[in-house]
Amino acid sequence: MFVDEVEIRVAAGNGGRGCIAFRREKFVPRGGPSGGDGGNGGSVYFAASPHLNTLVSFRFHPEFKAERGQHGMGSNMHGHNGKHLVIKVPIGTVVYEMPEEGGEPVQIADLVEPGKKVRIAAGGQGGRGNARFASATNRAPRRADPGIPGEARRLRLQLKLLADVGLVGFPNAGKSTLISRISAAKPKIADYPFTTLTPNLGVVALSDDRSFVVADVPGLIEGAHRGLGLGHQFLRHLERTRLLVHLIDVSGQSGRDPVEDFTTIRRELELYRPELAEKPAIAAANKMDAAVDTKLVRKLEKHLKGLGIPLHRISAVTGDGVSSLVEAMWSRLSVVETGE
């Protein structure tokens, strides 16, 4: 099960109490204070792990707490510190703190690098024992500090997939078929809308050890930015991509106009987040093997030319034009990376 957003609670360990104790030893008639300090509570850390790709485990285990510090003891023995709690999350996880009194979540961490570790909640400091308060005027203090509570936070975790290229388009435009042809990904493919219910990642391998990662985002429809359809749940996964590939059905079987399809998808991206629509993009006229009206393709090409977006004619089913599309993706990514 793919889960890319959850809410959890984390609590760092409390500091241990300081101890009030006095020495009772043979041949030491006056004794003295001997209460040790309490140990510090364990902190909570998040660590980005390449071995995870979903937040599903957090849905069934939403509460996390680090170990508290041990209380201080007599004979000037300090309590041991609580163990830190390291929680592994998928690479690309964004951590938001949820205000207790309401309001907008505040981003506190973005784990985009493998192995990156961030402290989310600090453990409480241990209290001082009475030996710490001894002085020339107070030789038998009966005072000790309580431990300081550890930080507790309510968090929202959002997973944003890390991909170089994002495939976007209407449902049943052929995105899953394309990603299965150009990579080893095996998404569900069927002849009905909303076949893809979760994003799919695939690694595209080219000659000369070239490769890049493609994400197949579930089909968008008009109103996706407002929560219609399924794609709105996964639009955030496009935020990290460097290139968008608009896959457009030109077979005519859908009864829609390809230009209107492209315009609708681009508008939904812009309404969700304006910078998405401004990302570098190329377009692919898919299902050319079934196209019955080439005028629609020419009309689409003319429209895209005015926007400076190249159009590639392909058939994801037969493979025609796919290799040139993949090379175009690589070339555009190279340009984006160099900033030319």
| Burial 152-172, CB ≥16 within 10 A → b, else e | ebebbbbbbbbbbbbbbbbbb
Total count of residues recorded for the chain = 340
**pLDDT (average), residues 195-222:** 77
Q: How confident is the model at residue 188 (pLDDT cuts 50, 70, 90)?
A: low
Gap between the Cα atoms of 37 and 34, Å rounded:
10
Q: How confident is the model at residue 190 (pLDDT cuts 50, 70, 90)?
A: very low
- Residue pointed to by tokens 């680090």: 66
pLDDT at 192: 40
Which of 154, 153, 161, 156 has its CA nearest to residue 52? Answer: 161
DSSP 8-state secondary structure symbol assigned to residue 290: G
- Sheet bearing 152-159, strands edge to edge: 63-65, 5-11, 152-159, 93-97, 106-111
Give the Cβ contact number of residue 285 at 10 Å.
Answer: 25
Q: What is the mean pLDDT of the chain?
A: 86
**How far, rounded to the nearest angstrom, does the alpha carbon of residue 170 sit from its chain's CA centroid?**
24
Between 17-26, 36-45, 197-206, the lowest mean confidence (pLDDT) is in: 197-206
Cβ(66)–Cβ(12) under 8 Å? yes
The dihedral region occupied by 258, where left means phi > 0, alpha psi between -120 and 50, and beta the remainder, is alpha
Question: pTM above 0.85?
Answer: no
- Sheet bearing 85-90, strands edge to edge: 85-90, 44-49, 117-121
Question: Which residues have CB under 8 Å from 26's CB, separation 6+?
Answer: none
**pLDDT (average), residues 170-191:** 76
Q: How confident is the model at residue 223 (pLDDT cuts 50, 70, 90)?
A: low
pLDDT at 235: 76
Instruction: Name the token pair of 69.
Output: 């510090």
Does pLDDT of 193 surpass 50?
no
**pLDDT (average), residues 58-87:** 95
